[in-house]
Amino acid sequence: QAEDGIRDRSPSRGLGDVYKRQIIDGKKISEDILNEIHLKVQERANQGLKIPHLAAILVGDDGPSETYVNSKIKACEKVGFSSSLFNYDKNISEEKLIHEIELINNNDDIDGFIVQLPLPSSINQNNILNSVNPNKDVDGFHPINYGKMTLGANSFIPATPYGILQLFQRYKIDLEGKKCLVIGRSQIVGRPISILLSQSNEFCNATVTLAHSRTIDLARHTLNSDVIISAIGKPEFLKAEMVKEGAIIVDVGISRVKDSSSKKGYRIVGDVDFKNVSKKASYITPVPGGVGPMTIAMLLSNTLEACKKND
């Protein structure tokens, strides 16, 4: 028995000893990737090349968004990137925000930047994302990059889907032919990962179903799936009865639930009832420590690529 009563079947699956078995260790993999990036930054510095610079725009004072942006800035420091945080009042007008974005578009020192989502409802998200210079769009949300991704052309891949692909690759989990259910059709995660996993890329080639709030009899789909990627933000909604034995589970949900025993008054949980689902899954990502840290690592990877294009 491995930790938390999870059967250890990894030797037959050819996993290296480097990683924890069965529980996909996104924290470890993300640290590996950040170390790789750090080395590349040092090489660039030795060659007299530019140090990558990531900027983040945060509008308003949404608690989780502040936490995510701060984690991104902290990761920049860790790998030796420069970083800037632009924090605007929640009442900023769409026109003013677009003006600020244009200043960053034209700032040659900034290689890539992100606009943290969600934005206040008074601002049209698509207008904002359209105003980002596609060459600096390290989130991959501009229609040009989103279109290129959909066509299988070289582009910035949105960081969370990119992080999930990296987990499959680094654990050598090949989805070829597998029945893969993506739950949630968000622009940031569900839709792009459903597109990427169906493409004829290494470790992809999956048979993908995209479920959402209008899906009828979701449990019939989940029970029939080899792989489930859940990205809806409903705490612990995916139960063991909904999952088939040996399924591969990727939990993208990050929800705060009240917890008076915690110092912060809340704890972070995913979409998956981890304690019980992990007893049936062949591989499962935990929350925290699964997909979350991978998002940050891949954002920095995209920023390094953006910087390299300016060499």
Residue 61, Cβ density class (10 Å: 0-12 exposed, 13-18 middle, ≥19 buried):
exposed
Q: Is 116 assigned a catalytic role?
A: yes
Q: Which positions from 248 to 287 touch ligand GUN by CB under 6 A, shown as an x/- string?
A: ----------------------------------------
CB distance 116 to 74 below 8 Å: no
Q: Which positions from 142 to 171 touch ligand GUN by CB under 6 A, shown as an x/- string?
A: -----------------xx-----------
The residue at minimum Cβ distance from ligand GUN is 117
Among 49, 85, 117, 218, binds ligand GUN (CB under 6 A): 117
Q: Which positions from 286 to 305 touch ligand GUN by CB under 6 A, shown as an x/- string?
A: ---------x----------
If one asks whether residue 116 binds ligand GUN (CB under 6 A), the answer comes out as yes
Task: Restricting to residues 177-196, name those near ligand GUN by CB under 6 A.
Answer: 188
Q: Is 139 assigned a catalytic role?
A: yes
* Shortest distance (Å) from residue 299 CB to ligand GUN: 7
Q: Where are the beta strands (DSSP E) in the chain?
A: 53-59, 82-88, 112-115, 179-183, 207-211, 227-230, 248-251, 255-258, 266-269, 283-284
* Shortest distance (Å) from residue 55 CB to ligand GUN: 12
Closest of 74, 81, 79 to residue 50, by C-alpha: 81
* Shortest distance (Å) from residue 53 CB to ligand GUN: 17
Q: Is 226 assigned a catalytic role?
A: no
Retrieve residue 174's tokens: 């090949």
Among 115, 167, 195, 231, binds ligand GUN (CB under 6 A): 115
Interacting stretch for ligand GUN, rule CB under 6 A, among 78-86, 114-122, 174-182, 268-276? Answer: 114-122
- How many CB atoms are located within 10 Å of the residue 251 CB? 27
Catalytic, out of 25, 139, 271, 273: 139
The strand pair at 255-258 and 248-251 is best described as unpaired
Report CA 205 to chain centroid distance, whole Å: 20
> Nearest 5°: CA angle at 119, between 114 and 122?
140
Catalytic, out of 20, 22, 116, 273: 116
Report CA 164 to chain centroid distance, whole Å: 7
Q: Where are the beta strands (DSSP E) in 44-197?
A: 53-59, 82-88, 112-115, 179-183
Q: Which residues bind ligand GUN (CB under 6 A)?
A: 114-117, 139, 159-160, 188, 295
Which of the residues are catalytic?
A: 72, 116, 139
